[in-house]
Amino acid sequence: MDALSETIGRRGRARVVLSLTPLIDVVFILLVFFMLVSQFASWRAIDIIPQVSSGVSTSMHQTTIVVTVESADAFLVDGDTYSDVSAAAIAALGLGEQDTSYLVRPGDDVAIQPVVDLVEAMTRAGINNLRVETEGVE
């Protein structure tokens, strides 16, 4: 009797066929969804402090040096044009005094990339008291 019921049980179980096709469909749809919406790029934050040009400076520093970004490879400091936008070259200019603040002024239609490059190079050169001038809210 036990042998008979075991045989019937086995046959009964063998007849239940679980279709994997819907599972495969769902898993593929999930895969396509995650492939389309996932991003693996790691974004990094930069510290740019804007200062409205018409506003009153909150800086306590007495001297402010304006650094004007003319293009991707040219910037002006006190009327002199420099082309080497690297931390070493900026450090060689002798900037970075403690009681001086720096205002980076983007020239007309200058893209954001050269401005960020200059700010990054100045920060690397040890200049921390710097802000980026803006005309204010459009």
Partner 1 sequence: MKQLALRRADHRPDGTLPLINIVLLLVLAFMIAGTVSVPLPDGFQPLETSDAQPEHADGELVLLTMAADGRVIGDEGDLDKGSVANLLRSDLAKAHGVTIRVDARIPASRVLSLLAAAEDAGVANAVIVTMDRVQ
Least distance in Å: CB of 20 to partner 1?
A: 6
Round to whole Å and give the CA distance between 51 and 38: 36
- SS3 for 100? strand
Phi and psi (nearest 5°) for 69?
-90, 115
Q: How far is the CB of 113 from partner 1 (least distance, A)?
A: 4
Q: Which is nearer to partner 1, 101 or 114 (CB)?
A: 114
Kindly tell me which of 34 and 78 has the beta carbon lying closer to partner 1.
34
Neighbouring CB atoms inside 10 A of 130's CB total 23
CB closer to partner 1, 54 vs 62: 54
3-state SS, residue 107: coil
> What is the closest distance, in whole angstroms, from the C-beta atom of residue 44 to partner 1 in the complex?
4
User: Measured from the CB of residue 136, what is the shortest distance to partner 1 in angstroms?
Assistant: 6
Cβ neighbours, 10 Å, residue 104: 23
> Which of 78, 138 has the CB closer to partner 1?
138
